[in-house]
Amino acid sequence: MPDRSSVVISLSDCIAQYDAHLLKIRGLSKSTRNLHRHVVHMLLCSSFPTGDIAWSTFCFGDVVQFVTTEFQRLTSRATQRVWLMVLRSFLRYLAAHEHISGGWDAALPSIANRQHVQLPRGLTQQQVDALWTASEGSKPRDLRNRALFLLFLRLGLRTEEVASLVPGDIDWSAGNLKVRSAKTTRVRTLPLAQDVGEALVAYLRSLHRRPVRLFDPARKPPIPEQRYEVYVRNCVYYLFERAGIRDRGPHSLRHTLATEMVGKGATFKAVSDVLGHKSITTTLIYAKLDLEALKQVALPWPGGAR
C-alpha cells in the first residue's frame, strides 16, 4: 500500500469522485447516490472538520465514533441498516483505492433485519372502491386521476416510473407499456390492461396539447426532473384525500397488486417480473419462503447480474 501520508484531498473532491464511482461503476440512481453523498459527507465532516482529507489520520475509531453518535439520533432500525450499508460501500471503495486497509466494512455492526415478519399493508377492497369512486368524473382532473389510479393499481408501478412515462412508451398496436426504473436502472415491458388503456385514452384526449411526459405539471418549461415525480405523488395523495384515506400513499397500490397476485396463486417469478424487482429478496416480502418456487425466479437480467 502506498504511503497514505501523501494523500490529501478536499472533501468536495472526494465526494465528487465517489459519486462518479457510484454512477459509472455501480450504476446507482440519482436518489440513491444522493443518500450516499449525504451519509459520506456527514462522516467526512465529522472526521475532517477543516475539509482537508488526509487519509493517514483516518482510523476505524473515527467511523465507530460517527456511527455511535449518529445512531443515538437515528433510532429507526431501518434507517440504521441503510446508513450501515452506505458506510460499508464507502469503506470498500476506500480500501479498493488503497486509502485504508481492507476489512473495515466487515467490522461494522449488523442490525437485525425483520422486514419479512409481516406483509406490507395493501388496501382493502372497500378502500379500492372508494378510490374508484373518487376518480369518477369527466373533468380533465378526474380523467387524470383515474388514469393514475389504474396505472398504480393494475401495473404496480413506482411513483418515479409513472412520472418518467412519455407518450412514446405506449405501444397501442401491441397493447404494451414500456416502463423505465431509475431505482433498478432496468426497462421492462408490461401488458396494458384494457381498463388502463381506456383511461389513458380518455385522459390524453382531454389535454389541449401533446404532453412531454404523460403527466405534465401545469407550468411552463423547463421543468426540473424532480418536479414530475412530486406532481404525480401529489395528484395521488389528492385522490386518496378525496376518498377519505389519509394514512396511505401511492406505494400502497403497488402493495395491493402484489398481495392480490400472491393471494391468487401467482409465482414469485410472476410477481417479481411485474413489479420489476432487482432482487428476489424484495419479492419475498409478499410470501413465505418456498424453495421450490424460488427456483423459478432465476430470470437473468439483461446485461448480466449486478
Active site residue 158: yes
Cell 406532481: give the residue. 231
Catalytic residue among 21, 36, 144, 254: 254
Catalytic residue among 93, 203, 228, 286: 286
CB 100, CB 55: distance < 8 Å: yes
Q: Report d(CA 226, CA 229) in Å as an integer.
A: 6
Active site residue 277: yes
Catalytic residue among 21, 99, 144, 277: 277
3-class SS letters over 123-177: CCHHHHHHHHHHCCCCCHHHHHHHHHHHHHHHHCCCHHHHHCCCHHHEECCCCEE
Active site residue 93: no
Active site residue 278: no
For 54-73, give the DSSP string: EGGG--HHHHHHHHHHHHHH
Catalytic residue among 37, 41, 81, 183: 183
Active site residue 246: no
Catalytic residue among 21, 146, 158, 248: 158
| Positions of E strands within the chain | 8-10, 52-54, 170-171, 176-181, 186-191
- Among the listed residues 103, 67, 105, the one whose alpha carbon sits nearest the alpha carbon of residue 83: 67
Catalytic residue among 92, 251, 269, 278: 251
Active site residue 220: no
Residues annotated as part of the active site:
158, 183, 251, 254, 277, 286
